Structure 1
Amino acid sequence: MHFDALLLSRPQFGVPVLLLIVFSSLALGLAGYVAVLEGLWLTTRTDAFLKLRSLWSRTFLVVFGIAALAVGLDVAAGASAPTWAAATNGFPARPAQLIVSALLSTALAVGAVSAARLWKGPDDVESCLALRMASGMLVICGPLEVALGDGARPRLIIGLALAAGLLGLWGGLLCWRGSPERSRLFLSAFVLMGPLAVLTPVAEWLGDGAALRL
């Protein structure tokens, strides 16, 4: 099978862009999440917030490191210009979409990890708290992800956002009843939707098309 230069250059261009999209979105969302946890700990002095901040700040450093590496690969592959253009085109609506997408992605990731830990032990106070916070963020960011834009949002983005919003509403109902961590069905649903944490930012950028125009 013959491989020409154009075919071989596509992975060289596309892989760094995909890494940059996924990990920069998670790094942005985790930075905000860690800042919120720090503020909650300073105001309440609750040990659960301190433990969560310690856990997710370490995760943020790893994700940020991978994102920084992806930036270097992005520049080396010559993909930084279209990626930057996709992020800034349509200011301020486009950056707002990307920020909401990052927060939604982070909520899905945090919730999935917390749900997996609660599956093993439903008495994990920190994971229960993180799961409730993630559910609340999904309720906020899901509708925002749908609402932001010019009315021509990609169907995939709308579907992902609606699914995440419904999951958050389910979690909110269980929180109102007092025990989301006791619902095995809800925990399973959150874990199964964990991969959307990667798919959401990719779908957001693919909706623009400029970042992955190979």
Structure 2
Amino acid sequence: MQETALLLARIQFGFTVSFHIIFPAITIGLASYLAVLEGCWLRSRNPVFKQLYQFWSRIFALNFGMGVVSGLVMAYEFGTNWSGFSAFAGSITGPLLTYEVLTAFFLEAGFLGVMLFGWSKVGEKLHFFATLMVAIGTLISATWILASNSWMQTPAGYEIVDGKVIPTDWLAIIFNPSFPYRLVHMGLAAFLSTALMVGASAAWHLLKGRDSAAIRTMLMMAIGMLMVVTPLQIIAGDAHGINTLEHQPAKVAAMEGHWRNESAGEGVPLLLFGWPDNEAETTHFAFGIPHLGSLILTHSWDGTFKGLSEFPADERPNATAVFWSFRVMVGLGTLMLLLGVWGVWAWWRRTLFSNRRLLRFALLMGPTGLIALLAGWFTTELGRQPWVVYGLLKTADAASPHQALELTISLVLFVIVYGLIFGTGIRYMLRLIAQGPDHNIETTLSTVRQAPLSNTEQGE
């Protein structure tokens, strides 16, 4: 019963945080996108950029609201479902989350009203400043959240007194060994997710025959972003993998599906496919490329690293889940690079807006940025198991003493409520995107045509 309750607690937290992580990722990417759009408008005075800003700011506002609501639930869950973790590490995670509220949330909330409703009430430069502050606020928020999560992955700057963590060096806590890699990786993932969403929106309208300067600008900016950010993400992911091998080798062994690596001098293959069996301690149907695993993770032809069987059985993550979540992330990342290269080729060939195969591919790729982000998060968090604070506190010791029935009821309620509230929000967001940036202009023109003439106008 205790194992069932622990599993339900993990599923409940995984469910709520999976919903939550989507909305901040979109707001991080869209906030920076809006800042670029307004900057381009101020410099060029091209009305297309302002039109796109006003369109995507509505999507941003909706996601910002859903992100705040879903984040509040998680804050309460730390106390209700994970009281052992709060008691053990609250002296570190509590202040980090407080800093996020004081420095980021207040900054975003303070300028959000000006950004959304201040076009006709403040000057252009002040409005642009407000947009920049909101964009910076989203990045600061991500910084503090990832500092907290990274500390749980690679704890530093602490000592344990009476069974509790006491901070001794806040710089070491914040800038812990994995923090820079996770921050860059998450930031680039948010930008990629936004670029794919914008590109899919443009592709949808072009496939429907709605061709305009605004739609074309959306697609060109999305393709350009993909070509710049995807290679950077690959480089960041490689650096993050090497850092993980140093600090969390069991996670890397699970990601690669290796149980007993060959002796030094023979190299480690990169397994492309297979089915890791946690009980048999082997990977069935393994298909790999010789030496490529060594080349990627150790940057040498014959390098080696520990297999999962070299770790105690009670300190290994679930290899099957970690292995496949990692491959979903990498596979989708490869498709993103393919879309970027194909898009640039079509751009050069002057067929970017008419190549229907490319447009269908871009449309299908729309949600893959968020799917890859979730797969990467699953890899990170499942690969840390059975630890909640790596090497210090196990997940079983962090959970609150709830019964399985209580957790089952609350999980079912979460699924129902989240499905209604956020399902409605996501559906409304998709409706807004389907309307497109030209919808407001068409509505305005229609209203002007149908409005009755004033006495002066009738006289004229």
User: TM-score normalised by the shorter chain: which range applies?
Assistant: 0.7 to 0.9
Choose between structure 1 and 2 for higher RCO, CA contacts under 8 A separated by at least 6 residues. 1
| Conserved 8 A contact 1:86-1:205 | no
| Alignment correspondent of 2:420 | none
Q: Does the aligned pair in 2 maintain the 1:118–1:127 contact within 8 Å?
A: yes
Aligned residues of 2:51 and 2:214 also touching (Cα < 8 A): yes
Deviation at 1:122, TM superposition (A): 4.7
Paired position in structure 1 for 2:40: 40
Distance change (3 Å), C-alpha of 1:207 and 1:11: closer
Task: Give yes or no for contact 2:192–2:229 (8 Å, CA) kept in 1.
Answer: yes
CA shift, 1:157, in A, is 2.9
Which structure: greater helix fraction? 1
1:70 maps to 70
Opposite residue 101 of structure 1, the aligned amino acid is A
Counterpart of 2:179?
91
Q: Partner of 2:352 in structure 1?
A: 180
- Point out the structure with the larger strand share: 2
CA distance in 1, matches of 2:8, 2:241: 33
Asked if the contact 1:86–1:208 (Cα under 8 Å) also holds between the matched residues in 2, the reply is no
Distance 2:215 2:68 in 1: 28
Matches of 1:105 and 1:148, distance apart in 2:
16
The corresponding residue for 1:115 is 203
Name the structure 1 match of 2:343: 171
Q: Distance in 1 between matches of 2:50 and 2:339?
A: 26
The answer on 1:100 being equivalent to 2:188 is: yes
Q: 1:178 to 1:99 in 2, by over 3 A?
A: same
- Residue in structure 1 matched with residue 222 of structure 2 by the alignment: 134
Output the amino acid matched with 1:126. Answer: A
Query: Which residue in the other structure is 2:373 paired with?
Result: 201
- Structure 1 distance, partners of 2:199, 2:19, is 22
Mapped to 1, the partners of 2:384 and 2:54 lie a distance apart of 35
- 1:166 to 1:19, Cα distance in 2 relative to 1, 3 A: same
Letter in 1 for 2:241: A
User: Max radius of gyration: which structure?
Assistant: 2
Q: Tell me whether 63-72 or 85-94 shows the greater mean CA deviation.
A: 85-94
Any conservation in 2 of the 1:110–1:131 contact (CA below 8 Å)?
yes
CA contact (8 A) 2:205 2:211 kept: no
Higher mean alpha-carbon deviation, 203-212 vs 144-153, is at 203-212
Asked if structure 1 preserves the Cα contact closer than 8 Å seen for 2:226 and 2:337, the reply is yes
Assess if the C-alpha contact under 8 Å between 2:189 and 2:369 holds in 1. Answer: no
The Cα of 1:164 is off from its aligned counterpart by 0.5
Query: What secondary structure, in the 3-state scheme, does the structure 2 residue paired with 1:49 have?
Result: helix
1:17–1:123: structure 2 CA closer, same or farther, 3 Å change rule?
A: same
Q: Deviations over 1:140-199 (max 9, x none)?
A: 111111110436384433322221011011111111122311111111001111120320
**Unmatched tracts of structure 1, length 5 or more:** none
Separation (CA, whole Å) in 1 of partners of 2:24 and 2:345: 32
Give secondary structure in 1 for the equivalent of 2:353: helix
Contact 1:143 1:161 in 2 (8 A): no
Q: Work out which of the residue numbers 152, 160, 183 in structure 1 matches 2:241.
A: 152
Q: Counterparts of 2:180 and 2:32 in 1: how far apart (Å)?
A: 19
Taking the aligned partners of 1:44 and 1:180, their CA distance within structure 2 comes to 23
Q: Which amino acid aligns with 1:25?
A: A
TM normalised by structure 1 equals 0.88
Q: Is the 8 A contact 1:122 1:181 kept in 2?
A: no
Q: Is the 8 A contact 2:329 2:373 kept in 1?
A: no
> What CA distance in whole angstroms lies between the structure 1 residues aligned with 2:72 and 2:346?
44
Asked if 2 retains the 8 angstrom alpha-carbon contact of 1:109 and 1:194, the reply is: yes
Distance (Å, rounded) in 2 between the aligned partners of 1:164 and 1:205: 18
The 2-side partners of 1:93 and 1:133 are apart by 26
CA distance in 2, matches of 1:127, 1:200: 25
Q: Give the superposition deviation at 1:46.
A: 0.8
- Contact preservation (8 Å) 2:230, 2:337: yes
Letter in 2 for 1:205: W
Separation in 1 of the partners of 2:61 and 2:222? 20
> Aligned pair in 2 of structure 1 residues 165, 98: CA closer, same or farther (>3 Å)?
same
The DSSP-based 3-state class of the residue aligned with 1:180 is: coil
Q: Which residue of 1 aligns with 2:361?
A: 189
Matched-pair identity in %:
36
Structure 2: state its 5+ residue gaps: 87-92, 94-144, 154-177, 243-325, 386-394, 396-460
Deviates more, 1:96-105 or 1:178-187: 178-187
Greater Cα shift, 170-179 or 111-120: 170-179
Deviation of the 1:200 alpha carbon: 2.1
Computed over aligned residues only, the root mean square deviation of the Cα atoms, in angstroms, reads 2.6
Q: Is the 8 A contact 2:193 2:367 kept in 1?
A: no
Q: Which amino acid letter does the alignment assign opposite residue 30 of structure 1?
A: L
Structure 2 letter corresponding to 1:157:
M
**SS at the partner of 1:93?**
helix
